[in-house]
Amino acid sequence: MWQKLKKVNTSKWIGFFIFVILIYALQSSFFKLKHWLTDQNSLPLTALVLTGDKLHVTEDVVRSVLNKQKDKLNFFTLEIADIQKQLEDRPWVYSASIRKNWPDTLKIHIVEQTVVAIWNETSSLNRFGEIIQVTPEDKEDYIRLSGEDNRAEGVLDTYLQLEQLLEPTQYRIAELNSDKRNATQLVLKNGISLRLGKEQKLERIQLFLNAFPRIAQKYELSTIDYVDLRYDTGLAIGWKKAKKDAS
């Protein structure tokens, strides 16, 4: 009976030691695998595929961001969210999409900002009316908008509506300003200023289009400074100083 009990206890101890050894082996294997997966020299990302817009965001710009992650350029440890944020913090980047392709390739797709207007002469607006701190090389080719920063989207929307109304005509907008009261004044490319006020801006532009051909027949356009359309009926014409002196 004693010998039988002793054999049982011995078997239990042997089983326990085998279990401990197995746990240790598994744990050691796990740490070795983890070290291999996270070691930059084991699965380094060595290829970059850059797609999308490349006018202002070049491969050198992207690589300068990746160089900040040089200790983490491993397939498993690369912090994609951090790289995406750093890229999207660049003035010309609207969005960046990043994905990894096994075993060593990083693919990045860049969508650049689209400038539609110069804003307050110091920055620009993208197509969503967001203020962006970039300056296009061909700055003179863009419409100039100005106003309160918190109304930038509304100012752009007003411009687009007025420009659409003027599209079939010979008149084009060069500048548009919205003051603190949301009153709009624009300057046409022919130099004439239109004062539209706060309300009924589309209707007032239409009034201008209806009346101006007759005004152009009667007066020399180069003598007109502005057309004030802020009246319930009719409009008023302001003359340039030379015209006033001559009258």
CATH of the domain at 211: 3.40.50.11690
Please tell me the predicted confidence (pLDDT) of residue 246.
42
Q: Does residue 10 lie in a domain region?
A: no
Residue where one domain finishes, among candidates 78, 97, 112: 112
- Residue 191 pLDDT greater than 90, yes or no: yes
Distance CA 89, CA 107 (A): 19
Same domain, 166 and 239: yes
Residue where one domain finishes, among candidates 84, 112, 140: 112
Domain that holds residue 137: 115-246
Name the token pair of 178: 């919205």
Please tell me the predicted confidence (pLDDT) of residue 23.
66
Please tell me the predicted confidence (pLDDT) of residue 221.
86
Same domain, 180 and 211: yes
Please tell me the predicted confidence (pLDDT) of residue 78.
81
Q: Does residue 185 lie in a domain region?
A: yes
- Mean pLDDT within 95-115: 91
Q: Which of 75, 243, 56, 40 is nearest to 138 (CA)?
A: 56
Q: Does residue 25 lie in a domain region?
A: no
Q: Does residue 96 lie in a domain region?
A: yes
Same domain, 87 and 177: no
- Residue 11 pLDDT greater than 70, yes or no: no
Same domain, 141 and 227: yes
Q: Does residue 132 lie in a domain region?
A: yes
Strands 115-119 and 123-126: antiparallel
Q: Does residue 189 lie in a domain region?
A: yes
Q: 112: number of CA atoms within 13 Å, CB side?
A: 17
Please tell me the predicted confidence (pLDDT) of residue 109.
95
- Mean pLDDT within 224-240: 92
Same domain, 152 and 199: yes
Q: Does residue 3 lie in a domain region?
A: no
Same domain, 90 and 159: no
- Mean pLDDT within 213-221: 88
Q: Does residue 149 lie in a domain region?
A: yes
- Mean pLDDT within 11-23: 64
Same domain, 90 and 120: no
- Residue 125 pLDDT greater than 90, yes or no: yes
149 contact partners, CB below 8 Å, separation of at least 6: 120, 131
Same domain, 204 and 127: yes
- Mean pLDDT within 223-229: 95
- Residue 1 pLDDT greater than 60, yes or no: no
- Give the model confidence (pLDDT) of 44-100 as tens digits: 777 889 999 888 999 999 989 988 877 667 777 788 888 999 999 999 999 999 998
Q: In this structure, is the dihedral angle defined by the CA atoms of residues 239, 227, 225 and 213, taken in order, positive or negative? A: negative
Number of domains forming the structure of the chain: 2
- Mean pLDDT within 124-131: 96
Please tell me the predicted confidence (pLDDT) of residue 232.
84
Q: Is this prediction's pTM over 0.95?
A: no
CATH of the domain at 54: 3.10.20.310
Report whether 74 contacts 45 (CB < 8 A). yes
What is the full DSSP assignment across the chain? -HHHHHHHHHHHHHHHHHHHHHHHHHHHHHHHHHHHHH-TTTSB--EEEEEE--SSS-HHHHHHHHGGGGGG-BTTT--HHHHHHHHHTSTTEEEEEEEEETTTEEEEEEEE--EEEEETTTEEEETTS-EE----TTGGGSEEEES-GGGHHHHHHHHHHHHHHHTTSS--EEEEEE-TT--EEEEETTS-EEEEESS-HHHHHHHHHHHHHHHHHHS-GGGEEEEE--SSS--EEEE-HHHHHH-
CA distances 8 to 5, 11, 16, Å, are 5, 5, 12
Name the token pair of 207: 């009034």
- Give the model confidence (pLDDT) of 149-186 as tens digits: 999 999 999 999 999 999 999 999 999 999 999 999 99
Residue where one domain finishes, among candidates 63, 96, 112: 112
Same domain, 53 and 105: yes
Please tell me the predicted confidence (pLDDT) of residue 203.
95
Q: In this structure, is the dihedral angle defined by the CA atoms of residues 205, 208, 213 and 219, taken in order, positive or negative? A: negative
Write down the mean pLDDT value for the chain: 84
Q: 86: number of CA atoms within 13 Å, CB side?
A: 16
Same domain, 224 and 156: yes
Please tell me the predicted confidence (pLDDT) of residue 77.
75
pLDDT band at 7 (very low <50, low <70, confident <90, very high): low
Same domain, 130 and 66: no
Strands 173-178 and 131-132: unpaired
Same domain, 65 and 155: no
Please tell me the predicted confidence (pLDDT) of residue 126.
96
